[in-house]
Amino acid sequence: MTTDFLAPALVRAQPRLRLRSDEVADGGRLRTPQRAGLLKGGGLDVSPSLQWSGAPFGTLSYAVTAHDSTGRCYWAVADISGGVTSLVVDAGNGVGERLPSVAKQLRNDLGLARYLGPAPAALGLPGRFIFTVYAVDVGRLPLTRHAGPRELSAALEIHEVGRATLTAAYGWTPPR
């Protein structure tokens, strides 16, 4: 007996993963604390709080990334337990004491295991900064101790069951 006729109904019944932050408004401008400090962008490299809801069926853990519109990764966290639905402000400080217990911060594209905010390009051109939470179907992703964004991306291709994003602008603002 086949149950293929149920598949469309099950897909429609899935909750939709949602992501929000008290510090980052979707479609808004990135605040000063979340912008680059180490990269001389006038900010403080403080990761924002993130809260998510609507875990798809089969979610056992989460991963979080922050990248710019060119695809450069500034923050990557994997293996956030499935029962955790938020990260606090400055969870990406590099020390790790503000991360949930089993979560691990991966190296970003600059080789640092911490959050870095974006800095405007040399010409001050505007950019977009995208925070993404991924719902994952395993408790721990198969990542090495020295994994970075590429390894995380490859693991998520196999284990992602949902995602949600927040996008904020940074850099130059055109005159009105």
Most confident of 9-18, 87-96, 112-121: 87-96
Structure confidence at residue 160 (pLDDT): 97
pLDDT-derived band of residue 3, with 50, 70 and 90 as boundaries?
A: very low
Spell out a b/e string for 42-76, using b for 16 or more CB atoms within 10 Å of the CB, else e. Answer: ebebbbbebebeebbeebbbbbbbbbbeeeebbbb
Q: Is the confidence at residue 1, as pLDDT, over 60?
A: no
> Three-class SS of residue 73?
strand
Q: If you average pLDDT over residues 76-99, what whole number do you get?
A: 96
pLDDT in tens, 136-154: 999 999 999 899 999 999 9
